[in-house]
Amino acid sequence: MEKNEETPLFWFETSNSVCSRHQFQPDGQLSVILVDDSRPLYQKVAGSFMNKFFPSGYPYSVNEGYLRYTQFRAVQHVTSAAMSVLSTQSLLIAAGLRPTPAQATAVSWILKDGMQHVGKIICSNWGARMDSEPKRWRLLADVLYDLGMGLEVLSPLCPHLFLEMAGLGNFAKGMAVVAARATRLPIYSSFAKEGNLSDLFAKGEAFSTLCNVVGIGIGIRLASTICASMQGKLYIYTQCLKR
């Protein structure tokens, strides 16, 4: 007796000049294929942006507050990436102003980076507390990171204290990195719906990467213009703190 294969169920949906074909795959996943798109170019670009950087089915696939959180992260990532360029520039200037041999400066630079690992180790001991209050620890991570960058930006004013200021700055940034990473999954879990945590996490990381690239570009531009002087760096740093 010949066995008839089941025909996959599919349907067409039309909305805002867009026609798409929807079909459930054998594994239960929903496949969406674009059939016709007569929208203006700017709407196509906006739609493509949403598809690449927001979870599938947004806004119905996430809980309330996701957009506000994403906006907060966008501002935070752009400003932090821009300030990281300026703080690195300040560290290089401070290291060059030290009246010490090049070998001693190199050792100080390595020790400065080592302090970040110390900060990570210490902050990891508080992991259990981060599970109970992820949002508070996420905000604390931003405060620590801003503090660390501030110390690095100010380092050219005290080149003789380069190791102390740069080391303490990296220590604070190390703690901030651990706190931010540890609270990321609990926060994403609070926004996820219908088992789409992986999609939400992946799109969130892609969006963060985009913001970091934009921030680095802004930082490079500022470093050669407004922030070529210490006064300019301090002005931009204080403006970033107001975000």
How does pLDDT run across 153-180, given as a tens digit for each residue? 999 998 888 889 999 999 999 999 999 9
Task: Delineate the domains of the chain, giving CATH numbers in brackets.
Answer: 10-53 (no CATH), 66-241 (1.20.1250.20)
What is the SS3 assignment for 206?
helix
pLDDT of residue 131: 87
Instruction: Give residue for tokens 């570009």.
Output: 217
Asked if residue 1 has pLDDT above 50, the reply is no
How does pLDDT run across 84-120, given as a tens digit for each residue? 999 999 988 888 876 666 666 677 777 888 899 999 9
126: phi then psi, degrees, rounded to nearest 5: -105, 20
How does pLDDT run across 53-74, given as a tens digit for each residue? 998 888 888 999 999 999 999 9
Asked if residue 13 has pLDDT above 80, the reply is no
Alpha helices of 66-196 — where are they, by DSSP H?
Answer: 66-97, 102-124, 127-132, 134-154, 162-191
Distances (CA, A) of 138 to 7, 120, 122, 125, 216: 49, 15, 16, 16, 22
pLDDT of residue 240: 85
What is the SS3 assignment for 14?
strand
Average pLDDT over the chain reads 86
Q: Based on the number of CB atoms within 10 Å of its own CB, is 31 exposed (0-12), middle (13-18) or buried (19 or more)?
A: exposed
Instruction: Give residue for tokens 């470093």.
Output: 223
pLDDT of residue 15: 73
pLDDT of residue 207: 95
CB 153 within 8 A of CB 237: yes
- Angle between helices 102-124 and 162-191 in degrees, nearest 10: 30
